[in-house]
Chain A
Amino acid sequence: MAKVVNRLHPDFATQSYVIEVFKGVALTTRQFARNLFARKDIVTVQYPDDRRPYTPRFRGKHRLMLRDDKSVRCVACMLCATACPANCITILAKEVDDPTIEKAPSSFDIDLLKCIYCGFCEEACPCDAIRLDSGVHTIPSYTRRDQKAGVINLMSLGSVSIASQGGEHRAHSHEGTAHGRSSGH
């Protein structure tokens, strides 16, 4: 069925625009006066002083989660690097002495300038090793090199995960997520 468009047929007084202009001026002036004497309509957030909390689903800078012994959970399976549509994850694997752990990353770089914060890496990871829930907005920098987040950098935001790894479930009460952590550094 065709959509019926309701065309407006303003009368001559409206079309002549003269009265309407004055109505508009009255409206804006009234709003100006309201805002001059009271602040209740003002929607500005004074950014560096006040910050809005991010939603819990905000995808910020990545963090690498830790095992109980504070070593990195990542087993360098490359699933995240494969899933990444922006091709911005570069992982180099290394052997680990512990026979229960396959591999670990010797370097884990994310080029934050290429990253589109889609969260696919987080979804792909079988080990709950990479997350985007740090609540940290990408920090501006003067050089491109500073936008490469290495493994140490990513781990510094990390915390111990309660997800089981290596076949054995270990419960933790203190899962640390950084929801709502809003300071930008």
Chain B
Amino acid sequence: MHLVDNVLLNIVLMTLIKFAGFVLAFVMGTATVLTWAERKYSALLQNRIGPNRANIGSIRAGGLLHMLADPIKMLTKEDFVPNTPNPILFRLAPLMAFVPALVVFAVIPFGPGETFQISNTSLGILFIFAISSLNVYGAVIGAWASNNKWSLIGGLRISAQMISYEVAIGLSLCGIFMIYGSLDLQDIATRQGELLWGFIPAWGIVYQPVAFVLYLTCAIAENKRAPFDVGEAEAELTAGWWTEYSAMGFAVFALSEFIEIVLIGCVGTTLFLGGWTIPGLHGDAWWIVVLEIGGFLFKSLFLVWLQMTLRWTLPRFRYDQIMRLGWRIMLPIALLNLVVTGIVLTFIERA
């Protein structure tokens, strides 16, 4: 009895530590910094200065204090509930977007071995797909419960868009699974530590460059950020699906969007950029492990940066263009990519 208790306690404790270290510190930390970084970054590349006013006395820290000021503002603002028949759904929607975005990190391997993964499941990537596709409910139910035409139109656009790109994103990743022959993210990451012909890192992006472009495009579309933010479309729909949200409800939605940016970065790193592996570096020494974890975080942050830059570079697509891109371009290319991968793999096996 005592032994069982200890084992259980150990598991719970370890999980909590990993949760605190990875999800709370890295993911939430990055998401919080992103709320400031996104504004500052967009400002600088548009020849503006960006937020720099929040201060404690004379300390401004280049606007960094906005990260502190924002939550205070959000917590003290009026928490508006529109005249809606579904006030409970309206309240629930931000959580329905927030929780799936956070849960998914459970299966991301951020370092070598089981120690650096909250939950080691052989179905890793399927779990990610299953949970993150629940995300659409938060947005759509929020839009529906807002009892507002703009929200509803935004919600409709989002649901169609997210479900369309779900198909393409799934197919684009199939090539990776065929090559590494596994759905286990830790497995895939470890396999990418090998070298191809002795000098090229065997990363997913080397085997599947097309899939990487497809993945990134579809993932940004899934996250409904510019250039795919027709659901929000300030110019047409006020603020689209989150028009009616204010205060913390809005903050939670916005935060879950930022968390998903980090998620796209982490999944993209794990599948295409070699995960935590560093080419040519193997071993169990503690400094290697630290380097590997650092490498994973760095690569993830690189993808986060790429998403941010894409957002502030590209103009918003029209809604019909998005649908055409999803069904008539992304889907066929993903299928073709899959067929070619299959043929090549068969030849390699025969040879």
Determine whether A44 belongs to the interface, using a CB cutoff of 8 Å to chain B: yes
Whether B48 lies near A28 (C-beta < 8 A) is: no
Within 8 A of B (CB), among A1-44: 18, 21, 24-25, 27-29, 31-32, 35-36, 41-44
Contact among A18, A24, A25, A43 for B47, CB-based, below 8 A: A43
Whether B47 lies near A28 (C-beta < 8 A) is: no
The answer to whether residues A35 and B47 also contact, given A18-B213, A21-B314 and a CB cut-off of 8 A, is yes
Residues in B with CB closer than 8 Å to A24 are 313-314
Whether A21 lies near B45 (C-beta < 8 A) is: no
Separation of A31 and B309 alpha carbons in the complex (Å): 11
Within 8 A of A (CB), among B26-45: 41, 43-45
Determine whether B49 belongs to the interface, using a CB cutoff of 8 Å to chain A: yes
Residues in B with CB closer than 8 Å to A46 are 49
The answer to whether residues A25 and B309 also contact, given A32-B44, A35-B44, A36-B44 and a CB cut-off of 8 A, is yes
Q: Tell me how far the C-beta of B204 lies from the nearest C-beta in chain A, rounded to whole angstroms.
A: 18
Across the two chains, which residue of chain B brings its CB closest to A36? B44
Whether B41 lies near A32 (C-beta < 8 A) is: yes
The answer to whether residues A32 and B48 also contact, given A24-B314, A25-B310 and a CB cut-off of 8 A, is no
The answer to whether residues A21 and B49 also contact, given A32-B41, A35-B44, A36-B44 and a CB cut-off of 8 A, is no
Separation of A25 and B305 alpha carbons in the complex (Å): 11
Contact among B47, B306, B314 for A31, CB-based, below 8 A: B47
Majority DSSP secondary structure for residues of A touching B: helix
Residues in B with CB closer than 8 Å to A35 are 44-45, 47
Residues in A with CB closer than 8 Å to B312 are 28
Contact among B46, B47, B310 for A21, CB-based, below 8 A: B310
Whether A31 lies near B49 (C-beta < 8 A) is: no
Whether B313 lies near A44 (C-beta < 8 A) is: no
Contact among B44, B48, B213, B313 for A43, CB-based, below 8 A: B48
Whether B45 lies near A42 (C-beta < 8 A) is: no
Whether A31 lies near B48 (C-beta < 8 A) is: no
Q: Tell me how far the C-beta of A41 lies from the nearest C-beta in chain B, rounded to whole angstroms.
A: 5
Contact among A28, A43, A44 for B45, CB-based, below 8 A: A28
Separation of A18 and B48 alpha carbons in the complex (Å): 28
Residues in A with CB closer than 8 Å to B314 are 21, 24
Separation of A14 and B213 alpha carbons in the complex (Å): 16
Separation of A47 and B49 alpha carbons in the complex (Å): 12
Residues in B with CB closer than 8 Å to A36 are 44
Residues in A with CB closer than 8 Å to B41 are 32
Whether A31 lies near B45 (C-beta < 8 A) is: yes
Residues in B with CB closer than 8 Å to A32 are 41, 44-45
Separation of A32 and B213 alpha carbons in the complex (Å): 24
Whether B45 lies near A29 (C-beta < 8 A) is: yes
Q: Tell me how far the C-beta of A120 lies from the nearest C-beta in chain B, rounded to whole angstroms.
A: 35
Separation of A61 and B306 alpha carbons in the complex (Å): 48
Whether A44 lies near B44 (C-beta < 8 A) is: no
Separation of A13 and B47 alpha carbons in the complex (Å): 30
Residues in A with CB closer than 8 Å to B49 are 42, 44, 46
Q: Tell me how far the C-beta of A174 lies from the nearest C-beta in chain B, rounded to whole angstroms.
A: 40
The answer to whether residues A29 and B309 also contact, given A21-B314, A24-B314 and a CB cut-off of 8 A, is yes
The chain B residues found within 8 Å of chain A, CB to CB, are: 41, 43-49, 213, 306, 309-310, 312-314
The chain A residues found within 8 Å of chain B, CB to CB, are: 18, 21, 24-25, 27-29, 31-32, 35-36, 41-44, 46
Closest 5 CB pairs of A and B: A32-B45, A24-B313, A44-B49, A35-B44, A28-B313
Identify 11 residue pairs between A and B in the complex whose beta-carbon atoms are under 8 Å apart, listed by A's number: A25-B313, A28-B312, A28-B313, A31-B44, A32-B41, A36-B44, A42-B48, A43-B47, A43-B48, A44-B48, A46-B49
Given A31-B46, A32-B45, A42-B48, 18 other A-B contacts at CB below 8 A? A21-B310, A21-B313, A21-B314, A24-B313, A24-B314, A27-B313, A28-B45, A28-B309, A31-B45, A31-B47, A35-B45, A35-B47, A41-B47, A42-B47, A42-B49, A43-B47, A44-B47, A46-B49
